[in-house]
A and B are shown apart, each in its own frame.
Chain A
Amino acid sequence: MKKELSWVIAILLFVITFQANAQAPGYVGKRLLVDYSFATVPTFLPGVTNSTVSFATIHNAEVSWVLNRRISIAGHYTVSFPKLDFSDMDDEYFYDYYLGDNRQLSEVPTKYQFIGFDVQIYGGKRVAPVGTYFNLGFSVGHFTLLESFTLNYDYNYNYTGTYPYESVFNPRKYGVGRLRFGINNKKIIGGSVYLISGINANILVGKGTVRKDEVFNDDNGFLKLDRLWMTRKVRFDNLLHIKLGIGILFV
């Protein structure tokens, strides 16, 4: 993580130095912007059973540098807090979407952190860094599956009733790449303070192997452990989330 952060800082410093003597775009001479934004996103859990909707908050901190009258670049750090809920499947997992029908559902508490780099292109007659822009970014980060314990119920073998069993997810962290894109707007609300708003979507690239232990009693009453290994693939993360934030123009 530290390594990734140093890369972003190094790139930013390089660009700033390179641009120092060039023409001075920006907002009234100011080219460095720092902002914070957040998005409260619904995490839909589809399915036949346990269908719920929960919300998670994604926090984003961004430092942008205006390159020219059309383009600015930015470095960002994103974290989900307190958690995102992901449903799981036996062998393949799509957040938000249920693709199979012979599966069990459970919630796997997950949080993530990303650090990355964005290019912001100002369209129409707008001039960086004020107005509407198209944002395209790539970031790297990791998902952390938090340890969780679920008490499950299933039918017993002679269909006379249900019996409980427990399943435990092991805590695990796995790295992913993320492509983020969206349309955002920065609007000056007074002096050097601006509001940021927009609609964004992320595509995640990466997979992790997750161990899931299920504990249950067999027909003879012995406690048994069924350990499953699953590959988690996540394609979409909070498709079209709406963000809102505030920022300051520094120098």
Chain B
Amino acid sequence: MNKGIITTLLSIILVSWVVAQTTEYKPLKSSGTMPADFRSMVGDKVATELDSEIKSSDKSSVKKSKAEFVLKSNYMLYNLLSSGQVLYNEEVSNYVSNVLKKVLAKSKSKDKVRVYVIKSSASNAFATNQGVLFVTTGLIAQLENEAQLAYILGHEVTHFERKHSINQYIESDRSFAQRGVYKYNKYNDYITRMSNYSKSLELEADSVAFGLLNDSPYDLKASLSVFDVLQFSYLPFDEIDFPIEMFESEHFELPKELYLDTAVAINFDDDYDDTKSSHPNIRKRKRAVKRYLKKTNYKKGSVYLQGKEKFITVQAKCRNEVLRLLLKDGYYVEAFYNSVALGNRETENKYYKKCMAKALYGIAKYKNIGSYSSMDYDESEGSISRFYYFFETLEKEDLNILALNAMIGINDQLNDPFVDRLINNLAIDAVSIHEIFYDDLKFKPYPPVQKEVDTTVIDVVEEKKDSVDDTDGGFVSKYDKLREMRDEWDDAGSPENIDDEGLGKFYLNVFVDRDQDLIRDLFDLAETADEKNKEAIKAEESITKDMSYRELRKYRDKQRKKERKKGVRLGLDKVVYIDPEFFAVDERKGVKLVNSEKKQMDFVSSIKKNAEQADLNVEVLSPKLFDEGSTEELNDIGLLNSWMGEVPSHQKRSFDNEFIPLETEFMSGLEKKYGTTKFCYSGVFTYKSKKDNIGQVLLYSLICYPLFPLGVIYALVPKHTSLYYHYMCDTKNGKIVYDDVTELNIKMNTGDINSQMYDKMIQFKTAAE
């Protein structure tokens, strides 16, 4: 009795704690001392690794392949580690590290490998030749338990131990050149040959991972169930019904045609064609594991060694992170679906509600200018196809108002200033794009409608709840639902689409149950903002309105000349440079990575020197300068990279009424920390190539022989192209402040860089008159 009470109390405390952890979301960030992998010059690491990898007995072609691989892999690894998207010393990565320790307790490799977590919505894990394993938040978000993670880590460790990546690179070179065993095997194409080789490595990794799991205290059956995760990880976190209640109200009902009766069937086929794949298909992998299981004396092990609660907490963090990443990357329907799915489980979670509002904003804004997704509903699978169908079938103006209404409903509970900003912005779209004004809207209460709710999926959920164990944070796991559905699966194909006659305009009735004053204020604000925008455009146009074509051309030439003479004159006080780059590329030799790294250090020094001379307050966030205590700066780079990555995706779509980047709300801390809202990418890219028409030029110079020396000089001197770029954004309004690429047909030396850089800084500092 006492035991039961204690368990119940503990469960309540646990759930409350988990909810508290996930309600107030903050992007995941690393903490503590920065590991050595993230520091030091890559050139030094390359030199050390080359010494250990290249043997004197190696053939010259193998030596060459190894040298290339070591160079490229180290720089790719560095780029990933310095992106700020890799987590260490925080809860999620510590959890994964602990799992790795358990898996490798008896292994020789335990001191050689380390694991980090990548902030990514994709489900993936991989190992590098340097002994660094990576697991994505997307993968952890999809797993069922800790033991599955253990198996995946065992699989990746095998790739490292057996040197799969470097061997694959050498094999790829050999296969491409048709050397060695490939000399007589010319019938298969290169991709098939490499696919076969890669699949053999994957099966080997599966086999060794099984052994590692067998040696560990983890339950061996995870090695089989993990393949369901791998097969269905492209599906969202759960199979759920469409949240009709979010869009309807007491007196407003949506047309039935908007709901897809039968969701697009999920493809359960695990014996798909893997001829050109890097991995064997799931059936083959499962079959192999089943064989191992048969041969093994199976004893039930632990699914969780660090506790189920810990797994739930860690997974919740990863799922929250995935939601943010989906929104950042513009996967608004997926983000909406997943936030609804998670919100169904934690109805009080404000973060999920906020994600729903953000996702609806993204869908509506993008639908207003064209399309919100590159995927049609019938290309999706499962319940999410209903969501795609709904947003696809709605007219732009209907969706604009429906999203607005739903966001207002959400923010009634959140009272969040950022969501408020999104609502105001979307209301401006309604006024400016669709010309919907407050006076058009209807507020008369309609007679209550009788609603029919499609309960198919809900029934399935209820049914499963009774039949299977809870495996997903106290809820029926997505995979259990899928397993059940798989049993009944037949290849029914996609449901038929509705006829394309349109559904009529119902958007005017959407606010029928809302507070009339609130809607009036909202539309008043939107109309005022719209008028201001139009006035600004008119003012700009009025200057050139009465000009003839010739006058207009003259005016524009004058403006251009003025800018050429005086520059852009931004009047900035402070700029933060994020990870300045220098890339030297030779057409024949590829990227000169070691040389580039040295030049990058000089480039960073130049920024500081020029800023001092230009009297511009500049801060440089360069991983090249980081030491053990620079974790916070690396986290900042991660946040800034996310935000700076989102801004151009919207800017290039030419919204009349600007799109507010959804990452903007995470920028306020950085604005305060650095005392500026201007963050800038900058770098140099130099390209050396052979000149065109050398033969012709030499021939002509021979004919006109006094010019022959000039012809020889032309032939001998390579062509150089240098690009010096700047990309600066303002966190205040999410706009690109300065975007410029200076192209020079020279090999840029320090002097040229200083000249250009100082000029840019003067332009940044000088205010317009």
A→B interface (CB under 8 Å): 23-29, 68-71, 124-127, 129-131, 187-190, 194
Find the B residue at minimum CB distance from A22: B766
- Choose one: B614, B743, B751; the contact of A130 (CB below 8 Å): B751
Find the A residue at minimum CB distance from B745: A124
Q: Contact: A28 with B762, CB < 8 Å?
A: no
Q: Contact: B565 with A69, CB < 8 Å?
A: yes
Please give, as numbers and ranges, the residues of chain B lying within 8 Å of A124 by CB-CB distance: 744
B→A interface (CB under 8 Å): 564-567, 609-610, 613-614, 742-744, 746, 749-752, 754-756, 758-759, 762, 766
Find the A residue at minimum CB distance from B763: A69
Known: A24-B762, A124-B744. A29 touches B755 (CB 8 A): no
- Choose one: B565, B749, B754, B762; the contact of A70 (CB below 8 Å): B565
- Choose one: A23, A187, A194; the contact of B766 (CB below 8 Å): A23
Once the chains are docked, how many angstroms separate the CA of A70 from the CA of B752? 15
**Known interface pairs A23-B566, A28-B758, A130-B751; 8 further A-B residue pairs with C-beta atoms within 8 A, sorted by A's residue number:** A29-B613, A68-B566, A70-B564, A127-B758, A131-B755, A187-B749, A188-B750, A190-B750
Q: Contact: A29 with B758, CB < 8 Å?
A: yes
Once the chains are docked, how many angstroms separate the CA of A23 from the CA of B742? 21
Q: Contact: A29 with B614, CB < 8 Å?
A: yes
Q: Contact: B613 with A25, CB < 8 Å?
A: no
Give 4 closest A-B pairs by Cβ, nearest first: A188-B751, A130-B755, A29-B613, A127-B759
- Choose one: A23, A29, A68, A194; the contact of B751 (CB below 8 Å): A194
Please give, as numbers and ranges, the residues of chain A lying within 8 Å of B758 by CB-CB distance: 26-29, 127
Please give, as numbers and ranges, the residues of chain A lying within 8 Å of B752 by CB-CB distance: 130-131, 187-188
Q: Contact: B609 with A68, CB < 8 Å?
A: no
From A25, A26, A125, A129, name the one whose CB has the most chain B CB atoms within 10 angstroms.
A125
Once the chains are docked, how many angstroms separate the CA of A235 from the CA of B752? 38
Please give, as numbers and ranges, the residues of chain B lying within 8 Å of A187 by CB-CB distance: 749, 751-752
Once the chains are docked, how many angstroms separate the CA of A26 from the CA of B609? 14
- Choose one: B614, B749, B756; the contact of A24 (CB below 8 Å): B614
Q: Contact: B756 with A189, CB < 8 Å?
A: no
Q: Contact: B762 with A188, CB < 8 Å?
A: no
Find the B residue at minimum CB distance from A185: B746
Interface CB pairs A-B, < 8 A, 8: A23-B762, A24-B614, A28-B755, A69-B566, A69-B759, A125-B742, A127-B756, A131-B752
Once the chains are docked, how many angstroms separate the CA of A126 from the CA of B758? 12
Please give, as numbers and ranges, the residues of chain B lying within 8 Å of A194 by CB-CB distance: 751
Please give, as numbers and ranges, the residues of chain A lying within 8 Å of B614 by CB-CB distance: 24, 29
Please give, as numbers and ranges, the residues of chain B lying within 8 Å of A69 by CB-CB distance: 564-567, 759, 762
Please give, as numbers and ranges, the residues of chain B lying within 8 Å of A68 by CB-CB distance: 565-566
Once the chains are docked, how many angstroms separate the CA of A143 from the CA of B379? 86
Find the B residue at minimum CB distance from A23: B766
Q: Contact: B613 with A28, CB < 8 Å?
A: yes
CB distance from B24 to the nearest CB of A (A): 47
Please give, as numbers and ranges, the residues of chain B lying within 8 Å of A70 by CB-CB distance: 564-565
Once the chains are docked, how many angstroms separate the CA of A25 from the CA of B749? 20
Known: A125-B743, A130-B751, A188-B754. A28 touches B609 (CB 8 A): yes
CB distance from B599 to the nearest CB of A (A): 15
Q: Contact: A28 with B610, CB < 8 Å?
A: yes
- Choose one: A24, A27, A189; the contact of B755 (CB below 8 Å): A27
Please give, as numbers and ranges, the residues of chain B lying within 8 Å of A188 by CB-CB distance: 749-752, 754-755
CB distance from A7 to the nearest CB of B (A): 26
Please give, as numbers and ranges, the residues of chain B lying within 8 Å of A189 by CB-CB distance: 751
Please give, as numbers and ranges, the residues of chain A lying within 8 Å of B565 by CB-CB distance: 68-71
Once the chains are docked, how many angstroms separate the CA of A24 from the CA of B564? 15
Q: Contact: B754 with A28, CB < 8 Å?
A: yes
Please give, as numbers and ranges, the residues of chain A lying within 8 Å of B744 by CB-CB distance: 124-126, 131
CB distance from A233 to the nearest CB of B (A): 29
CB distance from B63 to the nearest CB of A (A): 37
Find the A residue at minimum CB distance from B749: A188
Once the chains are docked, how many angstroms separate the CA of A117 from the CA of B212? 82
Once the chains are docked, how many angstroms separate the CA of A224 from the CA of B750? 70
Once the chains are docked, how many angstroms separate the CA of A69 from the CA of B569? 12
CB distance from B137 to the nearest CB of A (A): 42
Find the B residue at minimum CB distance from A24: B762
